[in-house]
Structure 1
Amino acid sequence: MTIEITNALKELTGELNDKSFNASNYLGSIGSEEVVNAMIALLNDPNPETRFMAARTLGLVENNSAALSPLFEAFDKKENKEILGDLLMSLEGFDVSNNYVDLFKLYLFGSFKVSKIAEDLLDHKEFNITPRVLKKAQKHWAHYSNNVKQDEAFALQKIEVEQRLNDLKSFLENLESEN
């Protein structure tokens, strides 16, 4: 590793400051394989701020597809529960076209912040929608709706989710009729 990269990596560990964000921007602009691998390793750092900076940096890297799976693995770790929304924001810089169901689950089962970030990604990213994706999303919705309090908030969410699922179904039907 070059000295500049090594020094920038040091700025991402420990307590965050302005230099940390500058280092993240710098490493994201370099975007080399060594930077991606270093950020993937930092996703397992004991310090949550370091894990956040690693995810943020990965979101800035242009060729970051190798980091998508490790990032989703980080979402599932209980030590990242408190920073999950912050980690999730990094997905803005990723191609998540094959992760509709993963994001849909976070939308349903996540905290308020996580749910809103996942919803924004679902609304603004491109996805590869197939009948299998729709079926899995419907399965998760059925599980969620059978295991949550049926209150006023749920009634509003039900309208939103069912509209989302109906839109996917219509999209697939339109595709099928074109072929």
Structure 2
Amino acid sequence: MAIEITTALKELTGELNDKSFNASNYLGSIGSEEVVNAMIALLDDPNPETRFMASRTLGLVENNSAALSWLFEAFKKKENSEILGDLIMALEGFDVSDNYVDIFKLYLFGSFKVSRIAEDLLDHKEFNITPRVLKKVQKHWLHYSNNVKQDEAFSLQKIEVEERLNDLKGFIDDSQG
């Protein structure tokens, strides 16, 4: 089996093709610690397509929690700014229940694609919402709203965010009451 993993890993580097996606699916189904560690290492590969395939594969692995912090670190790297939307799609395969604030920041500060993917995650994933999470989200919203152009697009986003914040407040009030 080690030979098959090694062969599949080679398919994830370089130019992407159908074999790359098949190899990613295969490695994701194996999901061993060896695969997870190899994908974490590939998150630093010089080739952006390889980094994308590593994140995609990690999203397919069932026991991938060890890689979540590495993936969030990859999001912050300048060399990943062009592929950030592709990278964060992998979060769909992770338990991000403790990462509401991180995803909310991607929603606020990301490009259009990043923001839409983060919004979808915020809307469809389960999260552990606490008063502290709400406070941090409000802090980031205040920072964002004080440092962005106050135009029509902001006005629309403000409505969406305030609705989201009110939902969080209501959830916390319901859970404490």
TM-score interval, normalised by the smaller of the two chains:
over 0.9
Letter in 1 for 2:46: P
What aligned pairs does 1:3-152 form with structure 2 within 5 A after superposition?
3-152=3-152
> How many Å apart are 1:43 and its aligned residue?
0.2
Please, which runs of 5 or more residues in structure 2 have no aligned partner?
A: none
What SS is found at the alignment partner of 2:160?
Answer: helix
Report % sequence identity.
87
Please give the TM-score of this superposition, normalised by the length of structure 1: 0.98
Task: State the Cα distance separating 1:172 from its structure 2 match.
Answer: 0.3
The alignment's TM-score, normalised by the length of structure 2, stands at 0.99
Q: Distance in 1 between matches of 2:138 and 2:166?
A: 10
Residue 151 of structure 1, CA deviation: 0.5
CA root-mean-square deviation: 0.6
Structure 1 ranges of 4+ moved more than 4 A: none
Distance 1:165 1:105 in 2: 13
Distance in 1, Cα, partners of 2:155 & 2:3: 56
- In structure 1, how many angstroms separate the alpha carbons of the residues matched to 2:170 and 2:60? 34
| d(CA) in 2 for partners of 1:128, 1:175 | 11
> Deviation of residue 144 (structure 1)?
0.3
> What do residues 80-131 of structure 1 show as CA deviations (whole Å, max 9, x unaligned)?
0000000000000000000000000000000000000000000000000000
Structure 1 residue 154 displacement after superposition: 0.4
Distance in 2, Cα, partners of 1:69 & 1:149: 32
**Secondary structure of the structure 2 residue equivalent to 1:59:** helix
Q: Tell me by how many angstroms 1:64 deviates.
A: 0.2
Q: Distance in 1 between matches of 2:35 and 2:119?
A: 29
